[in-house]
Amino acid sequence: MIYMDNAATTMRKPETVIQAVAAALGSMGNAGRGAHGASLSASRTIYETRELLCRFFGGVNPRQVVFTSNSTESLNIAIKGLLEPGDHVITTMMEHNSVLRPLYELCGKGVELSIVKCDKNGVLDLADLESAVNSKTKAIVCTNGSNLTGNYVDIKKIGRIAKKHGLLFIVDASQTAGVFPIDVQEMQIDVLCFTGHKSLLGPQGTGGMYVREGLEVRPLKSGGSGVQTYSKSHPSDMPTALEAGTLNGHGIAGLHAALEYLNKEGIDKIRAREQELMRRFYEGIKEIPGVKIYGDFSSGERCPIVALNIGDYDSSEVSDALLTEYDISTRPGAHCAPLMHEALGTVEQGAVRFSFSHYNTEEEIDTAIRAIRELSAEEQ
């Protein structure tokens, strides 16, 4: 199988990640729940992974790194833990449902929401974003990169806008963590939400958030913590405040190995390779009759994603043909990005998304180009 659905999850992981998870499954106890070797080993692995993530994202204090199961949980914690009835929040049409649905839920509880529009290429105008700020605005919630078009968002500029107006800045780094450099201090990010199973190359069921020191976020969950057992309230110290229950220590061990791999290989090298493959595919299909490509390709900085349609062919049918006839795995449909499809005019048809990994090869790219050319010819 030629796997080109890496924006959903990176299927191919470094061998060291697989080995780390297997070793943890056979040796790891419950972190913070005992003084025996198996428990202490888990605690060390988890804390060392906090340190790696803190450095990776330019943070200051590893205790501000909180582990969750994925970006969706991180975003729910941040959005529901910081916004109150009467607050105004700004987001964009580029967002995934993991941002939109928690915000819609809060709208029913008295939070006001402004959604900044994108143009036909899915590009955000930062002037429109800043003009949406009013006296009640408390936060900006924004993705760092579109999971549909691959358009990169300059969150450093948005961070400056947030800082200028005294707003909280919550960033969804699902598509960029592990491939684009992120510095929470330089980019003025108050809460960074990320998942482990995409470009961070870790296992599914891992993720987290970095919370600026001094910012208090209401917990989404309360329960076991391994400390302060006789208190009726959940502990308020970070990171325990936002980590009720047993962590996915086995997955975090894999994430630890993945971060070491990324640091060794270098994300700049990985990004350059993935963008090279993405450009090869784009250049190979952009002139094919009947093929429509979505997103802004005028910029060199973009996620390694190409979304397309062939004529009026339903995106699911194209994706099925790619799989059955060419053994190429892609993602059709709406991609949990409903407003982005409204901006692109693809609500009914959806789109076929190709998303690339540095593990893909030129031969695989050329096979995908040939597949699109042949499927397009069948529609003429």
pLDDT tens digits for 84-135?
999 999 999 999 999 999 999 999 999 999 999 999 999 999 999 999 999 9
pLDDT value at residue 380: 63
Cβ count near 211 (within 10 Å) = 31
Cβ count near 194 (within 10 Å) = 30
d(CA 14, CA 270): 13
Given a contact cutoff of 8 angstroms between Cβ atoms, the answer to whether 170 and 209 are in contact is: no
Q: Tell me if residue 155 falls in helix, strand or coil.
A: helix
Given a contact cutoff of 8 angstroms between Cβ atoms, the answer to whether 281 and 356 are in contact is: yes
| pLDDT score of 209 more than 80 | yes
Q: For the segment 283-321, what is each residue's pLDDT rounded down to a tens digit?
A: 999 999 999 999 999 988 999 999 999 999 999 999 999
- Burial class from Cβ neighbours inside 10 Å (0-12, 13-18, 19+) for residue 114 reads middle
Q: For the segment 30-48, what is each residue's pLDDT rounded down to a tens digit?
A: 887 877 878 888 889 999 9
Question: For tokens 């105008």, what's the residue?
Answer: 125
What mean pLDDT is reported for the chain? 96
d(CA 95, CA 302): 16
Q: By C-alpha distance, which of 54, 144, 123, 41 is closest to 340? A: 123
Question: Phi and psi of 227, rounded to 5°?
Answer: -135, 160
292 residue type, one letter: K
pLDDT value at residue 322: 98
**Rounded to two decimals, what is the model's pTM?**
0.96
d(CA 188, CA 7): 26
Rg (CA), the chain: 21
